[in-house]
Every structure is written in structure tokens, then in C-alpha cells.
Structure 1
Amino acid sequence: MNQTSNWKRQFFTIWAGQAVSIITSAVLQMALIWYLTAKTGSAMVLSMATLAGFLPQALGGPLIGVWVDRMHRKYVMMLADGLVAAAAAVLAVIAFYVELPVWVILLALFIRSIGSAFHSTALNATTPLIVPGEQLAKCAGYSQSVQSVSYIVSPAAAALLYSIWDLNAVIALDVLGAAVACCAVAMVRIPRPAAQAPGAKSGFTAELKEGYKALNEHKGLVALLWIGGLFIFAFMPINALFPLMTMGYFGGTLKEASAAEIVFAVGMLLGGLWLGKWGGFKNRAWTIVAALLTMGAALLLAGLLPANGFIAFMACCAVMGLSGPFYNGVQVALFQERIQPEYLGRVFGLYGSVMALAMPLGLVAGGAFADQIGVNRWFMLSGLMIMGIAVLSLLLPSIRTLDEAEEKERESA
């Protein structure tokens, strides 16, 4: 892989720009949700807003991946940030003259989601071109920490800014964040894989098949892809059910529900920083299995707690958050290490599609089961499922011996 000697400066320049953009986008996203809630009070509208957020990645992930692999990834990230900013700017212009119609907000969310899908795919495919292979898991930890900070900061920041500014000012803040991210990417020299050279294209369908073939050469990664889908199916409802668990089962207040979310996000932040410092076990499969077992056990314990066990529930939330980066970050790093750079866009496009499709399926199943059996029992069931996924990962030879197989390939090369 093409790596530069000053990779730390290049990675952290991009990382800093993305941190600003992610946080300002999260603040705007929260402000728009509150605007829709106040304007309509409709659960259907909020569901449509959520749908607009994941649909482009779910349906277009592999196609987005082909375009990312065809184009210079630096320009893809800059254009994607520009698209997100442009959608926000159009919202601001319309809001200046009239009250924002719901359909305009939903359309803007959809367009912003397209930009985000291109950007996240390009960023994941770009990182291995800059960062040495042995540092990818650590860098994934730092990236996870940025997401955690956005989870912590965005609700409070959105509440403060939305109360003292009008929506246009919050939108302007997001446009500024996107501009910072564009400037950060513009400052970095990003090498281009040899297969991306002009004239290297062999046809859209053929390129799509080449991406699948590149992934299929690594059976352990194929298994991890589907393990990831199962994990998202089991865990995603937990995010939606946190307030119900706190307020419905433990009889807490809105402040206590917010505290549980913040404790979870702080756990994620600490887990991301820990992963950034340590990098996980030498055998990454063991890191993934340990993270899944830890998260599953914390969920199971949370579901077994009595109705007066809120303090213990907070501790479980911290453990859940702490273990998350050791699963997500290491999994992404493995894909970045194993797949050749010229195919990474297509592979991460497929990866994003599987995760995005598993998300609504899990939310529907989790909501239905929680209504029938109780939210605390869904926490138990989710914990058992995730622990089962950990055991399945341990039993699958392609995952268990992932690092050993790669080592043998390097020795024979």
C-alpha cells in the first residue's frame, strides 16, 4: 500500500476536519428532528426522516462503492462534503423566506444522506492509503472516539443553540463545519491506487463483480460481514429502547434517560481512546469475540436487573459503550488491511449496505418484541443473541484463524 512517512500529520489533519464536520452535522440533524417534532408531532414523519437517512446507503452502497473506486477519493470526499453543505444552504435560503415545508426537509435529509454515504465509503477506502497497516486498528479507535463525542455533544449543543438561535444559524454552523472538512482534505496528499489510473475502467458491472471477487478471496471477511449484519440486527433496537428502559422499566425521568445515553457515549469515547492507544489483541479475532461477549453480558445483566436497579443499569451502559469500539473499529481495520486499496470502495459500499439493511429489520423486530415481552426482556434477549454471535465467531474457522491465514499468505508470497 502507498504510505507516506508523515502519515500521522496527514491522518490527524483529515481526522480533525471530520471531527468538526461530524459534530456540526449531528447538531443540525438533532435540530431538524426537533423542528419536525414541534411542527408535526407525527411519528410517521419522524420515521420517514429516519428512512431518508439510511435509504441511500442501504440501496445504493455497492454502486456508490464503484464510483468511489473509479474516482480520486480525495475529490469524492470534497464533493460529498460540498453536497451536504449545499443541501443545508438551500434549506437556509428557503427558511429565510417561508416556513420550511416537511417535504423539503425530508428531501434535504435524503440528499445529505447520499453525500454522507459517498463520504464514509471514500474515507474508509482512503485511510489505508495513508496509515501503515499495523496502525489501522488504533486509528479506527480515534475515529470511533469522534463519533462518541458527537453523541455526547450534539443533543446538548442542539438544545442550547436551537433555543437561542433560529434554525438558519444552526444550518450555517453545519455549512461551516463542511467547509472545514473540505479544507482539511484539500491540505492532504492522498495517493491514488494504480488500478484507478485513467483508462483502467472495465465497465460498471464488471467492476462491481471484481469488488465481490476481491472480498470473496477472504472467507474470514465474508463471515465478518454477515456477523456484522447479525450484530446490527440484535443491537440497533437497544439504541431506540434506551429511553423506554429508563423511564418505563426503571421509572426514571427524562434527565435520567439522558444520563444513561451520555454514560453510554462516554463509555464509547473511552473505548475508542483505549483502542487508539492499545490497538487490541495481536489476534484481532479474539478482540472482536471478547468485545461481543462483554457487550452481550452487559446487555443480559441490564435485562435481569430489578426495577430499582438503575444505578447498576448505568454501569452496564458504560460497559456496553466501552466494548463497542473494540468490535466496530477492529472489524473496519481488518477490511482495510486485507482488501487491496483499489477495491476498498466497492467492499465498503457493500459493507454499508448490509449494515443499513439490517438496521430497520432490527428496529421493527425489536420494537414488536419489546411491546409483547417487555423492554427489559428484549435487553436480555439482545444480550443472549450477541453472546451467541460471539460464540459463532469463535466456532467459525475462517474468523478464528483470520490472522493466522493472513500470516501464512505473507510467508508464502
Structure 2
Amino acid sequence: MNSATHNDKSNWYKNIVLFLSSQAISLFGSSLVQYAMMWYITLSTESGVMMTIYIICGFIPTFILSPVAGVWADRYNRKMLIVLSDGLIALATLILAILFLMGFDDIWLLFLMAAIRAFGTGIQTPAVGAILPQIVPKNKLTKVNGINGSIQAIIMFVSPLVSAALLGMATMEIIFFIDVVTAAIAIGTLLIFLKIPLHEKAKDKQTTSYLSDFKLGLQYVNSHDFLKKFFLFFALFMVLMAPASFLTPLQVARSFGDDVWRLTAIEIVFSIGMMAGGAIIASWGGFSNKVKTMGFATVIMGVCTFALGSVPNFWIYLFFMGVFGVAMPILNTPATVLLQEKIEEDYLGRVFGVMGMISTSMMPIGMLIFGPLADMVKIEWLLIGTGAFIMCLSLLLVKNHVLIEAGKSSG
């Protein structure tokens, strides 16, 4: 038993290359479809309401499922959960491709597809967050999470370009089939090549109900002061981030001009920033205290948000958008690693499930607050205000003794 675990740890490099490769292939196919569906709805309806319905369909199932999926990630084989969720999405995509080929191309089918994809993502996210500490030594988690962030940023940069090119040359069905093939490759890689031992809780016979397991997870969070403060910080941060995340394209169109190249430029510059940020945190590793690294990144994001609301020149605006992108992985990576290092393995899935609920609910709540305000006051004022609040939040973060204590490296 011990020798198998030791052997697995010594093979961690091969395992993580296989795991991240399979995730990248799967994410690339999913992103192609995501963008294709979004543009198909935009071009065929030109309706803001239809886009809102599509976005809601992509958020709500993940939010609803996150607590249950967190319990699953602690109870069952995490690798198989990832495989099953990928398989579910691929099967739904295949059925959709066949329906489109037969001439059934109603918009509501795409809404249903967005919901199924969100359902699959809801299952997968806690499992991925919880599985990494099983296959990566603790002292390599920051590097691996940073590399993973960079890979995701590269895919988010490349996939809209490839998706747009494919839409110009091929039909929606072809893009759906590409996603099915990439999912099959990813599933095959995980099943055939990746060997991950079961975590302890999954080996035991489950004697408690899902609800009592979820309650135990909430009690675990409640009994750890640093977790309560950590989640409170993230909830407030996500709400304050909503204007910078969702209203900047509208701001650019209103203040600088509605040329398509401007809207494309802010997306590209932000993606390049995220790639660079992922590489920086992977090689640098952050300060010795992870919470100080998070505070540093939060200050930068606050300053950038404030600047996006106050700079008069579009090129300077783009510069701050790029720096904003750089700061994103420098915040997210140590936050993820902090949870992976500090949480007992049996509770990892449920804690990441709670994190999933916060990340999928707080930004839409922020939009419910700031979206209507954007039609009453200038978006610039919303950015200046939220930027100032984010800077104050970073100060509260680094001055909190409980969080600073939790942020110290564990060996």
C-alpha cells in the first residue's frame, strides 16, 4: 500500500502532464462550442434578452449542483467523476449535432445545451480542485496551478479565434463534432493512462446521507475561522468585480467608440495578461505568505479598476486591462493552493463546492446591482467606486491576523 502511494508520488510529473493535457484538450473543444453557440444566438436573434437567458442557463445549474458535487467529490472516485461529466457533455453535444443535421435548430435547444454543460461543469470543478493535491506534491501545487491557469488563458485566447474561423468555413454541426472528438480523447487519456489511487473517504462504505455529508462540510467551514473569513473576502470581491468583468465592453462602446476591433482588443489584451500572470506565478511562486500574495494582486486589481474608470485614452485603457489580466492568476493561484494545502483531504470536494457556489452566484448578484445602475450613471463612476472599495478590501485582507496566519507556508 505504502509503496504504491510512494510510487505514485514519484510518478507525479508524468501524471500531472497527462492530467493537464486531457483537461486542456477537453476545455478547448468546450470553448469552441461555447463561443459558437454564443455567436449563433447573437447573430440569429440580435436580442439582449436571448443572450441573458443563455448566460443564466450557463450559471444556475452550476450554482445549484455545486454543494451536491462537492459531496460527490469527497465520496466517490474523483477521476471517474471528471470522466462521467465529460462524457455527459459529449453525449449531449453529439445528440445536438444530430438534431441540427436533421434540421432541428431551435434556439431553445442551445439554452438546454448551455444548462447541460453547466451541469457537467458543476460536477467537474470540485473534483478537479480536490484531485490535484492527490497527484501533486504540496510544494509543487503553486507551480502546477499557475501552469494550469496559463493553459486555460491560452485556450480562452485561441478558442474564439478558431471558433470564428470555423463558423466562417463550416457549419455548427462540425463544431459540435469537434467537441465530441476532443472529449473522447480527454476521456481516453484519463481512463487508459492516468493511475490515481482512491482517496481514503472513497474507499469506505458510505453510511451517511448526502445532506448530512453536506452539513458536515458546512460545519467544517464554520469551525475554521480562516475559511469563514476567506469565503467572505471572495464573496465581497466577486460582487465588486462585476462592473470590470461585465460592463467594460459597454463602457468602451459608449466612451471610445463601438468599433468591433476595440471590443476584440480588450478581450485579447486581457487574455495575454492572464497568460503572463500564470507564467509569473508559476515561476515566482508568490511571497512566502500566500495571503500577502493575494493582497498584492487585489491591490493591483483595485488600482486597475479605478484606472479603467478614469483614463481618457484608449491605449492607456488597454494597458490597464492587460495589467488586470496579469493580476488575476496571481490572486487565484495562491487562493486555490491555500485551500488545497490547508483542508483535510476528506473535505476538499465540499470546500471547493462552497467555493463554486460563491463564484457562480456573487458575480450575477453584482450584475443585478450594477447592471441597472449602468443605465442611470456613467460606468466610469461605477469602476472608480468599485476600484476604491477593492483597494480597501485588499487592506482588510492583509491586516487580518487569522488569514495571514493561515497564509504561512506549510513546510
Q: Which runs of 5+ in 2 are unaligned?
A: none
Q: Where does residue 224 of structure 1 map in the other structure?
A: 230
Superposed counterparts of 1:149-168, under 5 Å: 149-168=154-173
1:294 aligns with 2:300: yes
Kindly state the Cα deviation for residue 385 of structure 1 after the two structures are TM-superposed: 2.0
Q: Deviations over 1:82-133 (max 9, x none)?
A: 0110111110010011131122211121111111111111111100001111
Q: Where does residue 114 of structure 1 map in the other structure?
A: 119
1:367 aligns with 2:371: yes
Instruction: Give 2:304's aligned amino acid.
Output: A
Paired residues of 2:65 and 2:123 also in contact (CA < 8 A)? no
Q: Deviations over 1:21-71 (max 9, x none)?
A: 112211111101111122222222211111111112212211111122211
Determine which of 328, 344, 347 is the counterpart of 2:348. 344
1:15 aligns with 2:23: no
Superposed counterparts of 1:65-144, under 5 Å: 65-144=70-149
Instruction: Give 1:131's aligned amino acid.
Output: V
Kindly state the Cα deviation for residue 229 of structure 1 after the two structures are TM-superposed: 1.4
Superposed counterparts of 1:41-56, under 5 Å: 41-56=46-61
Superposed counterparts of 1:282-361, under 5 Å: 282-306=288-312, 309-361=313-365
Kindly state the Cα deviation for residue 372 of structure 1 after the two structures are TM-superposed: 1.9
In 2, Cα distance between the equivalents of 1:385 and 1:24? 37
Q: Deviations over 1:198-245 (max 9, x none)?
A: 414322222112222333343212211121111111113322222222
Q: Where does residue 28 of structure 1 map in the other structure?
A: 33
Any idea what SS the aligned residue of 1:373 has? coil
Greater Cα offset, 239-248 or 168-177: 239-248
Paired residues of 1:249 and 1:376 also in contact (CA < 8 A)? no
Q: Where does residue 181 of structure 2 map in the other structure?
A: 176
Kindly state the Cα deviation for residue 12 of structure 1 after the two structures are TM-superposed: 1.6
Q: Where does residue 273 of structure 2 map in the other structure?
A: 267
In 2, Cα distance between the equivalents of 1:48 and 1:146? 29
Kindly state the Cα deviation for residue 165 of structure 1 after the two structures are TM-superposed: 0.4
Give the root-mean-square deviation of aligned CA atoms.
1.7
Paired residues of 1:215 and 1:339 also in contact (CA < 8 A)? no
Kindly state the Cα deviation for residue 297 of structure 1 after the two structures are TM-superposed: 0.6
Greater Cα offset, 191-200 or 84-93: 191-200
Paired residues of 1:17 and 1:181 also in contact (CA < 8 A)? yes
Percent identity over paired residues: 30
Kindly state the Cα deviation for residue 191 of structure 1 after the two structures are TM-superposed: 1.9
Q: Deviations over 1:351-382 (max 9, x none)?
A: 10111110211122222222222122222122
Note closer, same or farther for the CA distance 1:329–1:201 as it changes in structure 2 (3 Å cut).
farther
Any idea what SS the aligned residue of 1:304 has? coil
In the superposition, the TM-score normalised over structure 1's length comes to 0.94
Any idea what SS the aligned residue of 2:198 has? coil
Instruction: Give 1:147's aligned amino acid.
Output: Q
In 2, Cα distance between the equivalents of 1:399 and 1:370? 34
Paired residues of 2:73 and 2:126 also in contact (CA < 8 A)? yes
Paired residues of 2:301 and 2:324 also in contact (CA < 8 A)? yes
Instruction: Give 1:317's aligned amino acid.
Output: M
Kindly state the Cα deviation for residue 252 of structure 1 after the two structures are TM-superposed: 5.5
1:194 aligns with 2:209: no
Q: Where does residue 384 of structure 1 map in the other structure?
A: 388
Greater Cα offset, 4-13 or 160-169: 4-13
Paired residues of 1:214 and 1:339 also in contact (CA < 8 A)? no
In 2, Cα distance between the equivalents of 1:356 and 1:51? 10
Paired residues of 1:57 and 1:349 also in contact (CA < 8 A)? no
In 1, Cα distance between the equivalents of 2:186 and 2:243? 31
Any idea what SS the aligned residue of 1:100 has? coil
Any idea what SS the aligned residue of 2:376 has? helix
Determine which of 57, 60, 63 is the counterpart of 1:58. 63
1:400 aligns with 2:404: yes
